[in-house]
Amino acid sequence: MTLVLSVEARSLLPYIADAVPGWFDPQLTVYDAAGKQVAFADDNRYQPDPVMFFRAPADGEYTVELRDVVYRGRGDFVYRLTIAERPYVTDVFPLGGRRGSEVAVEYRGVNLAAVRGTVKVPADARRSITVNGLPFGASDLAAVREAEPNDAFDRAQRITAPLVVDGRIEKPGDVDYFVFSAKKDDKLVLQVQARRLGSPMDSVLTLYDGKRNQVAENDDWNDPLEAPLAHNSDSRILYTFPAAGDYYLRLRDIQGKGGEEYAYRLVLDAPHPDFTLRVAPDNPRLGVGDTAAITVAAVRHDEFAGEIKLAVENLPTGYAASEALIAAGQNEGRLTVTSPADAAPGVLSPVITGMAAIGKDTVMRQAESAESLMQAFAYTHVLPTKQLFLAVIPGTAYTLASSVAEGKVLEVKPESDTPIVVKVLRKNGVRAGVTITAVRLANNTITTKGVFVAPEKDEAEIVLTVAKDAKIGLRLDVIVSALMRANNQSIVRYTRAIPVMVVAK
């Protein structure tokens, strides 16, 4: 009988802001009746949550000890320990398949009834699906198997892009070589999918020209869509070929490790410029009759640098949203949602979309809601959540408004000043002063200075200053914010977004 002892700890609470390494790091130890250690497990490969396969050396009672690796303890070090004689799959090969196909696979693990099977990859599968608890990659490309021997330039396996190669670094020190042809000015993305798909492989990808001169190499590439990984260790090269001819790829594990579990998918494909939108936090608040500012981040893929037009859908009647823009080459934009004065408190589920021209196509992408979590005092991870919720709550303290008419695009000129009146609309009984925050946009191309509005004043003028080198046609959204300190509270409010366009003098 093989018992599977598995711990869920980091997988339950992946990031703890004020703990190092940023999560509970457990270890398992099994003792016999005499107190002698008979089994130990710290990590499960690269995962900090341990898994142990235990076969008792003799009948009797055994004690399981679960503790933090350095004896730390706190209220949020939560875990689940499962002990059972159950099937447990450690590996699946290949690591993925083509969308809309049925893939023959091999399983490795303990207590398995079968070591071979098939996986149906849905035609609409996203980046990966889950097979027996493991990630399984989904692609639109045809796949071939790595063919040994291919451990030297002279034995390099001939492949033709675009395709996926499913292979293994079969033993310690193994190196896999591939050769393919490219035309002058061809551009290809060469990438390894291994750690993202549950493989322990820490890849290094090296590109050589036909004369076997190294022209590019990559060890680790930080995939912005794989935030839960503790260490992004897959390799990726985006390369424009300067001349026609044969090129070689060398793939190896950086630590020289190998084995049946060291599987990979080597992908050769044309770049696919695109973008992913994220909204964080995923639960903004909006006072009745007030305005909320929402930040939308763009994760750009394969050198896409164009502008992205943002819009808000699925808002009830009476609510107003700005049509914001993420400027070309920028990674962030802001928009506003304004509630009607007679709105009822509640929870809304708006949908934020982005539209952009990519090549000859116009594409629309729906923004993902996301939450920013800190790990170990320093590292921030943006994790997708299921849905964006906008809480509408009773309005308090004050609201802000500007003198710019709703929907009007404010035209400004390089090396000019444009005044804007900001009105502070205090609630009854509120007498505190308000500081209007300075604005700095597009590398200080458009700026304002901070202004204090005294308790007895209800408006102030700010000046929009445009730099001399402001680019004609630059389109930005100015959102004026203000801060009131009252009753030990810091209360921030926003105006509706003010569209600004730089025009010629």
Domain containing 324 — which CATH number? 2.60.40.10
Residue 312 and residue 349 in one domain: yes
Q: Say how far apart CA 270 and CA 187 lie, in whole Å.
A: 6
Residue 369 and residue 431 in one domain: no
Residue 97 and residue 163 in one domain: no
Buried/exposed code over 148-187 (b: 16+ C-beta within 10 A; e: otherwise): eebbeeeebbebebebbbbbbbeeeebbbbbbbebeeeee
Residue 428 and residue 486 in one domain: yes
pLDDT at 323: 86
Residue 264 and residue 155 in one domain: yes
Number of domains composing the chain: 5
pLDDT at 180: 98
Residue 265 and residue 167 in one domain: yes
Whole-number percent of the chain with pLDDT over 70: 100
Number of H helices, E strands in the chain: 0, 47
Torsion region of 227: left, alpha or beta (phi above 0 gives left; psi -120 to 50 gives alpha): alpha
73 contacts: CB under 8 Å, gap ≥ 6: none
Which of 44, 64, 86 is the last residue before a domain boundary? Answer: 86
Distances in whole angstroms, Cα of residue 317 to Cα of each of 160, 287, 346 = 55, 16, 14
Maximum Cα–Cα distance for the chain, whole Å? 90
Which of 86, 103, 119 is the last residue before a domain boundary? Answer: 86
Which of 53, 71, 86 is the last residue before a domain boundary? Answer: 86
Residue 22 and residue 70 in one domain: yes
Q: How far is CA 234 from the centre of its chain?
A: 15
pLDDT at 222: 87
Q: Report residue 206: phi and psi, to 5°.
A: -125, 135
pLDDT at 225: 84
- Could you give the strand order of the β-sheet that contains 116-120, starting from the edge strand earlier in sequence? 88-93, 102-110, 116-120
Q: Say how far apart CA 490 and CA 484 lie, in whole Å.
A: 6
Residue 303 and residue 338 in one domain: yes
Q: Say how far apart CA 206 and CA 214 lie, in whole Å.
A: 7
pLDDT at 407: 81
**Pairing outcome for strands 96-98 and 134-139:** parallel
Give me the residue label for tokens 């869920």. Answer: 8
pLDDT at 379: 87
**Pairing outcome for strands 128-131 and 51-54:** unpaired
The residue range of the domain holding 360 is 274-393
* Residue 31: count of CB within 10 angstroms of its CB: 15
pLDDT at 442: 85
Residue 66 and residue 130 in one domain: no
pLDDT at 224: 84
pLDDT at 38: 98
Joined together, the tokens standing for residue 299 give 């994760």
Residue 256 and residue 204 in one domain: yes
Residue 283 and residue 380 in one domain: yes
- Taking 50 as the pLDDT cut, the residues of the chain under it are none
For the stretch 58-114, pLDDT in tens is: 999 999 999 999 999 999 999 999 999 999 999 999 999 999 999 999 999 999 999
In this structure, the chain runs to a length of 505
Domain containing 236 — which CATH number? 2.60.120.380
pLDDT at 357: 97
Residue 282 and residue 372 in one domain: yes
Q: What is the CA radius of gyration of the chain?
A: 28
